[in-house]
Amino acid sequence: MKRAIIVKNVTTYQNKKVLVLGLAKSGTSAAQLLKKLGAFVTVNDAKPFDENPAAQALVSEGIRVIAGSNPVSLLDEDFALVVKNPGIPYSNPLVKAALAHEIPVISEVELAAQVNDAMLIGVTGTNGKTTVTTMITNMLNEGRTTGQAKYAGNIGVPATEVVQEVGPDDVLVTELSSFMLAGIDTLHPHIAVITNMYTAHIDWHGSREAYVAAKMRITMNQTKDDFLIMNWDLPEQHELAKQSAAQIIKVSRQGAADTDAYVEDGQLMWRDEAIMAVADINVPGEQNVENALAALAAAKVAGQGNAAIAQVLTHFAGVRHRLQYVLEHDGRKFYNDSKATDIEATQMALRGFKQPVVLLAGGLDRGFKFDRLAPDLKEHVKAIVLFGETKTLLADAAKEAGISQIEFADDAVAAVPVAYKLSEPGDIVLLSPANASWDQFPSFEVRGDKFIQAVEQLTGQKEE
């Protein structure tokens, strides 16, 4: 049963006019929460009303919806606040006009933070966010007798929904994208995690500097009583740490000096104490060693014991679309890593396998070349099937890597039978696109689901 909002007695938005810009799950949940908080809510979504089931559902709940466009004239209604869908850029004319009128524009996670009663853990970074968020949540629930840890945010569950279910004995573990963090004001995690920081979403942020600045907002409200967990294998993190007032918790897979969570003699360590063997982590790849270190650091800071941490990591089966094992057929193992929307994620996925890989890759062209991927292609990939806007660019990298078997397909679905024909018993068939999905699919989740369906159709088996 959801707890009553009045537990925290939030009256900030009572009788205030609030505009929710953009629907999807987070916009719907934000609108519903604001109504409970006594606000006069207007929802604006660009999708036409007759094609918009989410808008129709809100109208049936008595919430005003304007659909089909984002008219700047809406701001004539004297709104006190705009809650923006994280995917909508600040270059949007309505958003720009709101800021010009000095109307605060926040993200849905900021609204959630304002009514949250639970201890807050925030997880951001370029890669590994969802895995680390899930690991932490599972670790904190292992053997728990009071309260519960729940995850929310970019992981696919609106934070404004989950805050209605948690109280002071609980923990809210939030996956925070750079888009979400760009719109926070008071959000204050007691424990913050930055998994890594590469180059991503430049088309949205405008520059890498702006992207990094957005990520670092996760610590902007932290104090000396809080904790910031950082990947100390990345030299940039050493400098970025100076921006935080929190206690820095350092993690290192590569053996950096003076760290808190690290690998030594094949063991996951926490401050000179062995937690478990690296080989016993149940998901493959160097990236999952890094994910495990970040998660165990958060769990230890939160007071969890070693046995509970080891239990979770020994049995953790991975997260859907993040190097997800699908099934085995005729000696081939199929993996779905559709969440690999950048080069670094695909590099890490490839490095997790000792077997030969038939790689399926390609997607939205964001202006990158793939030279950096060539060394990993050379070392791990025997054949490659390419699709999407970047297929010819990836083919250039594959040729540079000396791969002789380069094939093209219409999309990630059509690539499956092609990849199977190129594979042999003992091979890995891996979807790890190194690109966003939006040229052919509405999301990486849809791309991954369609890939799994194609594998099931090809093999006559169901995913395990």
Domains of the chain (ranges; CATH) run 13-103 (3.40.50.720), 110-315 (3.40.1190.10), 324-458 (3.90.190.20)
Would the pLDDT of 454 be above 70? yes
Asked whether the predicted pLDDT for residue 7 surpasses 80, the reply is no
User: Binding site for ATP: which residues?
Assistant: 125-131
Q: Which residue in 201, 196, 224 sits closest to 124, CA to CA?
A: 196
Q: Buried (b) or exposed (e) across 410-439, using 16+ Cβ within 10 A? A: ebbbebbebbbebbeeebbbbbbbbbbbbe
- Under the banding of pLDDT at 50, 70 and 90, the label for residue 2 is very low
Residue 460 has pLDDT above 50, yes or no: yes
318-343 tens-digit pLDDT: 888 988 989 999 999 999 999 999 99
446: pLDDT strictly greater than 90:
yes
List pLDDT tens digits, range 154-176.
Answer: 998 999 999 999 999 999 999 99
Is the C-alpha dihedral spanning 454, 456, 459, 464 positive or negative?
positive
The answer on pLDDT for 464 being more than 90 is no
Give the percent of the chain with pLDDT over 90: 89
Sign of the CA dihedral with 38 first, then 150, 24, and 73 last:
positive
The annotated binding site is made up of 125-131
Strands 119-124 vs 171-175: parallel, antiparallel or unpaired: parallel
pLDDT at 284: 84
Average pLDDT over residues 381-397: 98
* Mean residue pLDDT across the chain: 94
